Amino acid sequence: MKLMMYIGNDLIEAIPINVADLRIPGYLGKFKRNLKLKYSDLLLQTDQAAEFLVFNPEIKPAGTPIPAAN
């Protein structure tokens, strides 16, 4: 699982996170604060706010695949 930081449509950085630690209060907030500090100069240069997304590439979409049309 990864925490990804975006500014607009640009992916700035993706950090791996431990799924088991998500129950700890402030776990994701700690990473978000560190990323905002790390990229504070970049954030000052743009008028857009940083956005964060948690992504799990291991989850596969459910359902039956759609057959290709001939």
Contact yes or no for 4/14 (Cβ under 8 A): yes
- pLDDT value of residue 69: 62
| Residue 31: per-residue pLDDT | 96
Which two tokens mark 38? 């790390």
**pTM summary value:** 0.76
Tokens of 62: 């459910």
Residue type at 60 in one-letter notation: K
pLDDT of residue 44: 94
Query: Which residues lie across from 16 on neighbouring strands?
Result: 2
Gap between the Cα atoms of 67 and 52, Å rounded? 34
pLDDT tens readout for residues 13-61: 999 999 899 899 999 999 999 999 999 999 999 999 999 999 887 766 6
Position 42 scores a pLDDT of: 94
